[in-house]
Structures are given as C-alpha cells and as structure tokens.
C-alpha cells in the first residue's frame, strides 16, 4: 500500500527548496537525501529531487517508505486526538511507553496494532514518554516529518505540557520551582544539584483534599522525573511516589494537556484530557 504525505505550499513556505523546507521542520540530512535519491518527492504529480524550489500553490507529495516491522499488542487504547500526521493516546498507569526489551505489551505496540488494523504500513512512534507509573497523554507521530517536527518542538520547549497532581500537605495557591536537577547514580534518582540542568516547574492550587493539595502544573523544561523531584525538594512529594515520597497505592500524577502549533495549518492544537479529581 502506497501512502503519500500531502503538503500544500503557502506563501510562507514558497521560494525555498524541498531540502530547506524539511530541514526547517527538523528532518535530518540523511533522510532527505534518501528520499531524494529514491525520487519519493512529487510536486504537482511529477517526481523531483530535494533541490526543487517550491512555489506558491505547489502540492508537495512524499511517498512514505514502507516499514511494517513493529511488534504489536492487541490490547485496546484510548485515542484522544488523531489526524493524518499524529495521534494522541491516553497511557494507563503501569504501562510502559515503549519496549524495555522484555515486555511486548507496551503503549507503542498497542498503537502499532491499532494502525495495522487500519492498514497503515509505516512506523508510528512516540514523540516523548511518560514514566510507567504516570497516566496521561502520549503523542505519536505517523511519519518522519511529524516525528522530526514534534521532537524539535519538545527540544525547543515549544510544546506546552500540563499535569494534574495530588501532593502531600497543604501548599500555597501558586508558585514556581526553579532548581537545577541531575541524576544521582548512587541513589538512582534525580536530585537538586547546582551543577545540574536548568529545570523549572510552575503550579497553581486547584483545591485541597483532606490534608493534601491538588495542583495544576506546567512544565517549562523536560527533565527526567522533574515534577516528582521538584515537589519532593519543597517537602510536598507527589502522593503515592515510592521513589521521591512516602509511597502508596498509586502515583497521583496525570499528564492531561498538550498544546503546539501544527506545521501544516499553523494553527494551535490543544489536546486535553479530563481532570481525574
């Protein structure tokens, strides 16, 4: 089955080569060269190469390379958003985002099964990941352009990520935790470290629940275990956190919101899940 990615060239994207257009979206030189050599770029139905200069109202089509070799798991998934370039899936608590080499049932294999049932014969990969104990939205890319573009947005912190969390104790209504973090190999967890990577987390109080606080949290950087380490550092660990807190039945942390600009339409995309409290 041949699948084409179709892009309508606007004024903003005209008068540059296909190579430059894709490079601006974060696509690597090796991939661009491969597709150009195979003549998998088509403009207005005519095969061409990466040095073709795009013009206003051109229709760029890219023939996607068939890569149907993913392991699959037939377990169900909950889709929160889907279009031709990406889909957002709700990851249950306790499920890995991708394979650890041991488990064949993970979110990526479930998505692969869903896409194969739709006869889509190309790799669909997660753009980011959530901890196994964290529930919430994971974004998957359906092609190499959306994967490159969304990965670039995450790296440049141009995707807004929000979480709900229940933390131990009663916390102030709002605040910012701006503390560098690094991995302590002896403790096998992230710690506040003046020599660590810059890390910033902001939060707003939603309400109190008994002696705990329910917060709306925004990540301004994407360090491993950032939220968990930050709130532990101010003596309000996430309820149920067995690594940074006092443990419990479940980790009360939910990735509920993603916001970014679509590379085709230039419109804002908001993907949102319901508050669990």
CATH number, domain at 38? 3.10.290.10
Q: What band does 69 get if pLDDT is binned at 50, 70 and 90?
A: low
Q: Are residues 188 and 250 in the same domain?
A: yes
Give the gyration radius of the chain's Cα atoms: 21
Q: Are residues 165 and 250 in the same domain?
A: yes
Q: Are residues 133 and 185 in the same domain?
A: no
Give yes or no for residue 1 having a pLDDT over 80: no
- Give the CATH number for residue 151: 3.30.2350.10
Residues spanned by the domain of 20: 4-63
Q: Are residues 57 and 126 in the same domain?
A: no
Structure tokens at 137: 């939205």
For the question of residue 131 being annotated catalytic, the response is yes
pTM: 0.91
Q: Are residues 144 and 84 in the same domain?
A: yes
Q: Which residue in 58, 69, 105, 131 is the catalytic one?
A: 131
Q: What band does 257 get if pLDDT is binned at 50, 70 and 90?
A: very high
Q: Are residues 109 and 26 in the same domain?
A: no
Q: Are residues 244 and 176 in the same domain?
A: yes
**Alpha-carbon span 86 to 263, nearest angstrom:** 12
**Alpha-carbon span 224 to 226, nearest angstrom:** 5
- Strand 160-168 and strand 181-184: pairing? unpaired
- Under DSSP, the state recorded for 236 is -
Position 27 in a domain: yes
Q: Which residue carries 């041949």 as its tokens? A: 2
What does the pLDDT read at residue 71? Answer: 83
Position 140 in a domain: yes
- Structural domains of the chain, count: 3
Cα-flanking dihedrals φ and ψ of residue 202, to 5°? -115, 155
Give yes or no for residue 250 having a pLDDT over 70: yes
Share of the chain above pLDDT 70, in %: 99
């Amino acid at each position: 089955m041949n699948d084409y990615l179709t892009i309508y060239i606007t004024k903003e994207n005209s008068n540059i080569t296909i190579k430059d257009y894709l490079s601006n979206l974060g696509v690597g030189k090796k991939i661009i060269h491969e597709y150009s050599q195979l003549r998998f770029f088509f403009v207005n139905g005519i095969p061409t190469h990466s040095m073709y200069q795009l013009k206003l109202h051109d229709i760029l089509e890219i023939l996607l390379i068939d890569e149907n070799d993913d392991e699959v798991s037939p377990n169900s998934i909950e889709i929160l958003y889907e279009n031709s370039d990406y889909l957002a899936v709700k990851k249950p608590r306790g499920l890995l985002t991708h394979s650890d080499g041991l488990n064949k049932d993970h979110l990526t294999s479930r998505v692969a099964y869903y896409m194969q049932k739709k006869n889509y014969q190309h790799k669909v990969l997660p753009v980011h990941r959530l901890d196994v104990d964290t529930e919430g939205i994971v974004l998957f890319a359906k092609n190499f352009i959306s994967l490159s573009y969304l990965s670039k947005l995450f790296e440049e912190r141009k995707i807004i990520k929000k979480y709900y969390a229940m933390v131990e104790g009663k916390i102030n209504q709002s605040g910012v935790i701006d503390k560098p973090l690094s991995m302590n190999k002896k403790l096998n967890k992230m710690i506040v470290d003046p020599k660590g990577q810059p890390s910033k987390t902001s939060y707003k109080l939603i309400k109190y629940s008994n002696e705990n606080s329910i917060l709306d949290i925004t990540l301004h950087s994407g360090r491993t275990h950032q939220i968990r380490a930050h709130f532990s550092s101010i003596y309000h660990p996430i309820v149920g956190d067995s690594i940074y807190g006092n443990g419990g039945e479940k980790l009360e942390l939910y990735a509920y919101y993603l916001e970014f600009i679509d590379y085709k339409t230039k419109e804002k995309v908001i993907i949102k899940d319901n508050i669990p409290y």
